Amino acid sequence: MPDSPQVLVLGGGLAGCECAFQLAQAGLRVRLHEMKPHKRTAAQTSDGLCELVCSNSLRSDNPLNAIGLLHEELRRLGSLVLHTADDNRVPAGDALAVDRDLFGAAMEARIASHPNIELVRGEVQQLPLDFPGPIVVATGPLTSDALAADIVRVAGVERLSFYDAISPIVSGESIDMSVAFLASRWGKGDTADYVNCPMDKAQYTAFVQAIVDADKLPLEDFEKGVHFFPGCLPIEVIAASGPKSLRFGPMKPTGLDDPRTGRWAYAIVQLRTENRHKTAYNLVGFQTRMRQGEQRRVLSMIPGLEHAEFLRYGSVHRNTFLDSPRLLDTAMRLKSLPQLRFAGQVSGVEGYVESTASGLWVGQALAAELRGQPLTPPPPTTALGALLQHVTDATAPRFQPSNVHFGLFEPLPAAAEPGKRRPGKPERKAAMTARARQELSTWAVLQGLPVAEAPAPAPDAEATEPAPESADPTCG
């Protein structure tokens, strides 16, 4: 590339390559830094760009699932990763799975041959703040130690995490409120923010034993010797430390009067609302490394959660990410140093496709800003908008990265006519998808962005329940 670069992108993974491509397609000269082959993270085994470090699946491709809808939105907005994945897909039922070697090679060929992209190999150990233009940091969940230390220097020591401790989230409507009850501990705060699932002694004892016996994900080599913060211990670690430990920890019943008995239960599982619409609730303190099938089995022993719909499974794994709602604006700029932007997993999204989406948004938003026509973010009725809102919503009390799921979306308006049958789950998902398709088109046209037509719904798609997402969409 003859001329000097206008934008630096750090990290040649899914987010960095998507971002560099979007910028380059907009006519900007980009220098993309990737530390491989000089250095690899502990999870990488190849020297190429865009390595899928674990599963070869980009999860459900059905637009009646939130992740499938995100696929569709990315295709419509011109994502290189999605189109390359489509070109290299392997049969996997409802899922978009790829031949990882062909996918990585095709991505590298497109990036390395792009006339506006200069690919530079080598670890970036310090943020190159003397560069005169914008810098996008997309160095992923295993950002190298030296660069992570420099990010801490600019973002603040409390604002970069190295592990996530994620509790499962269930949909509000799937909680059996004839068993669970609303109450906040000692009556403090808004009672309606907490749902409580009471257990008697026999139920508690069986539940603790089931947690101890459940199949868990093994620690990766690079995760061994991890010291968890006391407030982030996985429930199985607490359960294994003694039969009463959970009852004195996340399951303590004190201060929670059951309105039906006027008494405290033997133990309580508390769920806290995830959004102001109260459509999704997380199980407070239930971060876990139980396998996803085991989470479904064991957690459905909780009274009131027998038929819970899991919007997100719990996990605990190595992950470098910012406290983005406190630090980033909606263009993913660091508020205190707007020259820096963050994309991908380090910005607090979770998963291959979500990281790609974040890279696409940062690339398109930055290109538009440099043209003097800044974008407003897509609305939270779309998958992309819902994901971005999760990452940048400064009103959220405690931030944890998330995959995309319908619980992040603006809910549908409540059924207007009392007494009318509430639409079932498949109909609501179809309505969410139809609304998202329409609103993405409207938004893109208003922003002056090219957007492909939404595909026509498949016959009967409106009435059928999509296959649930594969049991293990991520390694975690």
Residues at the interface with ligand FAD (CB under 6 A): 10-16, 33-36, 41, 43, 53-55, 123-124, 138-144, 147, 220, 318, 344-346, 351-352, 355, 474-475
Min dist. Cβ of residue 35 to ligand FAD (A)? 4
Min dist. Cβ of residue 85 to ligand FAD (A)? 12
Measured CA to CA, the distance from residue 237 to residue 285 in angstroms comes to 12
C-beta of 351 vs 379, nearer to ligand FAD: 351
List Cβ neighbours of 58 (8 Å cut-off, separation of 6 or more).
Answer: 67, 71, 85, 95, 96, 97, 98, 352, 353
> Which residue in this structure is represented by tokens 């789950």?
425
Q: What does the DSSP 8-state code read for residue 160? A: E
Which ranges of 121-181 would DSSP assign to H, the alpha helix?
A: 145-155
Min dist. Cβ of residue 275 to ligand FAD (A)? 23
C-beta of 354 vs 410, nearer to ligand FAD: 354
C-beta of 12 vs 304, nearer to ligand FAD: 12
Min dist. Cβ of residue 473 to ligand FAD (A)? 6
> Which residue in this structure is represented by tokens 């309580």?
268
CB-CB contact of 34 with 121 (8 Å):
yes
CB-CB contact of 193 with 269 (8 Å):
no
Residue 289: CB atoms within 10 Å? 23
C-beta of 55 vs 442, nearer to ligand FAD: 55
C-beta of 133 vs 426, nearer to ligand FAD: 133
CB-CB contact of 439 with 67 (8 Å):
no
Measured CA to CA, the distance from residue 435 to residue 441 in angstroms comes to 10
Min dist. Cβ of residue 18 to ligand FAD (A)? 8
- In the three-class reduction of DSSP (H, G, I as helix; E, B as strand; rest coil), residue 366 is classed as helix
Phi then psi dihedrals of residue 310, to 5 deg = -85, 115
C-beta of 99 vs 439, nearer to ligand FAD: 99
Measured CA to CA, the distance from residue 387 to residue 357 in angstroms comes to 9
Min dist. Cβ of residue 291 to ligand FAD (A)? 14
C-beta of 15 vs 235, nearer to ligand FAD: 15
> Which residue in this structure is represented by tokens 């009556």?
187
Using alpha carbons, select from 165, 57, 426, 473 the residue that is nearest to residue 293.
473
Measured CA to CA, the distance from residue 398 to residue 158 in angstroms comes to 13
Min dist. Cβ of residue 290 to ligand FAD (A)? 17
C-beta of 48 vs 303, nearer to ligand FAD: 48
Min dist. Cβ of residue 396 to ligand FAD (A)? 21
C-beta of 161 vs 279, nearer to ligand FAD: 161
C-beta of 287 vs 345, nearer to ligand FAD: 345
CB-CB contact of 399 with 323 (8 Å):
yes
C-beta of 32 vs 271, nearer to ligand FAD: 32
Min dist. Cβ of residue 292 to ligand FAD (A)? 12
Q: Which residue is nearest to ligand FAD (CB)?
A: 13
Min dist. Cβ of residue 134 to ligand FAD (A)? 17
C-beta of 34 vs 108, nearer to ligand FAD: 34
Min dist. Cβ of residue 136 to ligand FAD (A)? 11
Phi then psi dihedrals of residue 27, to 5 deg = 95, 10
Min dist. Cβ of residue 221 to ligand FAD (A)? 10
